[in-house]
Amino acid sequence: MPLYLDDPKKFRPLVGQAHQVAMNMLRPISRKYDRAEHAYPQELDMLAAMIDGLSESGANEGAGAAGVRRDESEDAGDAGGARNGANLASVMSIAEMCWGDVGLLLSMPRQGLGNSAIASVANDEQLARFDGVWAGMAITEPGTGSDSANITTTAVLDGDEYVINGEKIYVTSGDRADAIVVWATLDRSLGRAAIKSFVVPKGTPGMRVDRLEHKLGIRASDTATIIFEDCRVPRENLLGSPEIDTKQGFAGAMATFDNTRPLVAAMAVGCARAALDLTRELLEQAGVTVDHDRPGIVQSAAAAKFLQLEADLEGARLLMMKAAWLADNRRPNSLEASMAKAKAGRVGSDVTLSCVELAGTLGYSEAELLEKWSRDSKILDIFEGTQQIQQLIVARRVLGLSSSELR
């Protein structure tokens, strides 16, 4: 049965509020923190406090970091209708926030990728213990890029503590966060099945930020290299089960991506939508009208290109919503999460760069934010798994092949 998606009415107030925040709080300081790389956006503290207040009141479904949990027997789809929950609300609100600024969204306290990992993998005791913690996530290593199964950072149990050794790079919010969720292997000889995630609080002896990266885009977001040298963390900081299940592989840790990939797709959708909205205004000022009631072939080249970009973005938006909707309804969404990430990442870069081209000198200059959005969008096609990795995952799912059968 085909799945038709529209914006749920109950989330429209949340989306409207997110758009107002993006327009009135994020957009005005976007250029300021693009130029002041590594400076912490103090303006976000008030916004984070507002979101925390909504979370405590229960009035903000989707405004905070959500998780995809596989340990619940509830199947909303079989229990009396579809459920529109926190995952769908999150992608919709994040898309609006990134209409304002991607880097500032990534800098939001207590909304880090590590928070999604905790929400997805932690047990009930850990969820309570780490409530309110701002968590970054450390996966990538100097010799390990998109293939997370090749992680070499180790975690060795010594009494009641794990001793972590290794180096992590490109850690979003690595310097600002209260804690880092670190992916490490318990036993290299057992391959991916032994990879687990650990919560390491900031200031833990043996963990240090080595440097902050200078980047093409998302400059408001700090991106760190972190070194772990005999870093000891309590054994109860291992998220989820410490058991190594060779049959399951590291599906528990990878469940995090089922949640975060639609979120990254939402970031790309929001950034691209910002570029299209501004480009439409600039085209109209130049006398170019985009007519949705006429075929592109009978309109100007600029109008035809604009229509094509809008269509591509709508495809990405629908894939993003479907991946989130499936998660809300406790249905497997690994395939759809990768499809959404792959489509939105590619389309986001294509749309923002095309808008720079359509706007000519205005697009390339700092007079407008188009050039910034083209720089910001590129990372959304890279982190959380590159375009090529997503296509590989999709092929494996569609063909029913394992990672060893299709590399």
- Catalytic residue of the set 336, 357, 384, 405: 384
Could you tell me the pTM of the whole model? 0.91
29 shares its domain with 115: yes
pLDDT-derived band at 73 (thresholds 50, 70, 90) equals very low
Specify the range with the lowest mean pLDDT, choosing from 110-124, 285-299, 333-347.
110-124
Q: Output the average pLDDT for the chain.
A: 89
Of 111, 113, 62, 112, nearest in space to 384 by CA: 113
The helix (run of H) or strand (run of E) holding residue 137 is strand 135-138
Secondary structure (3-state) at 182:
strand
- Running DSSP on this structure, what letter comes out for residue 9? G
pLDDT-derived band at 260 (thresholds 50, 70, 90) equals confident
Integer Cα distance of 96 and 80 in angstroms: 30
206 shares its domain with 321: no
3-class secondary structure for 268-316?
Answer: HHHHHHHHHHHHHHHHHHCCCCCCCCCCHHHCCHHHHHHHHHHHHHHHH
290 shares its domain with 387: yes
pLDDT of residue 183: 94
277 shares its domain with 201: no
Q: Which of 177, 204, 237 is the last residue of a domain?
A: 237
Who has greater pLDDT, 59 or 26?
26
Residue 72 CB contacts under 8 Å (≥ 6 apart), including other chains:
330
Helix then strand count (H, E) for the chain reads 13, 7
The helix (run of H) or strand (run of E) holding residue 15 is helix 12-21
Number of domains present in the structure of the chain: 3
Residue 29 backbone dihedrals phi, psi, to 5 degrees: -110, 10
pLDDT of residue 80: 52
Given the structure tokens 């109860």, which residue do they identify?
A: 236
Residue type present at position 291: D
264 shares its domain with 317: yes
Residue 324 CB contacts under 8 Å (≥ 6 apart), including other chains:
87, 88, 90, 91, 262, 333
Q: Could you give the percent of the chain with pLDDT greater than 70?
A: 88
148 shares its domain with 260: no
pLDDT of residue 116: 83
Q: Let me know: does 183 contact 166? Beta carbons within 8 Å.
A: no
pLDDT of residue 2: 44
- Give per-residue burial for 212-222: e unless 16+ CB within 10 Å, then b: eeebebbbbbb
Dihedral sign of CA atoms 29, 202, 119, 259 in order: positive
Q: Residue 40 domain-assigned?
A: yes
* pLDDT, average across residues 331-347: 96
| CATH number of the structural domain spanning residue 214 | 2.40.110.10
* pLDDT, average across residues 7-34: 94
pLDDT digits (tens, 9 = 90+) for 162-202: 999 999 999 999 999 999 999 999 998 888 889 999 999 99
pLDDT of residue 59: 52
Dihedral sign of CA atoms 284, 289, 292, 296 in order: negative
Above 50 in pLDDT, residue 309?
yes
pLDDT-derived band at 7 (thresholds 50, 70, 90) equals confident
| CATH number of the structural domain spanning residue 34 | 1.10.540
18 shares its domain with 111: yes
**What distance separates the 2 farthest-apart alpha carbons in the chain?**
73
pLDDT digits (tens, 9 = 90+) for 91-119: 999 999 999 999 999 999 988 788 888 88
Q: Residue 404 domain-assigned?
A: no
Q: Residue 43 domain-assigned?
A: yes
Q: Residue 256 domain-assigned?
A: yes
Q: Let me know: does 101 contact 25? Beta carbons within 8 Å.
A: no
271 shares its domain with 392: yes
Token representation of residue 113:
């990728």
200 shares its domain with 77: no
Angle formed by the axes of helices 251-285 and 301-328, nearest 10°: 150
Secondary structure (3-state) at 179:
strand
**Other residues' Cβ atoms within 10 Å of the Cβ of residue 256:** 27
pLDDT of residue 74: 45
Secondary structure (3-state) at 198:
strand
pLDDT of residue 277: 98
Q: Residue 246 domain-assigned?
A: no
Of 15, 172, 199, nearest in space to 105 by CA: 172
Residue 375 structural domain: 251-399
pLDDT of residue 37: 95
| 314 labelled catalytic | no
Above 60 in pLDDT, residue 1?
no
Residue type present at position 237: N
Q: Which of 126, 151, 178 is the last residue of a domain?
A: 126
323 shares its domain with 374: yes
311 shares its domain with 386: yes
pLDDT of residue 67: 52
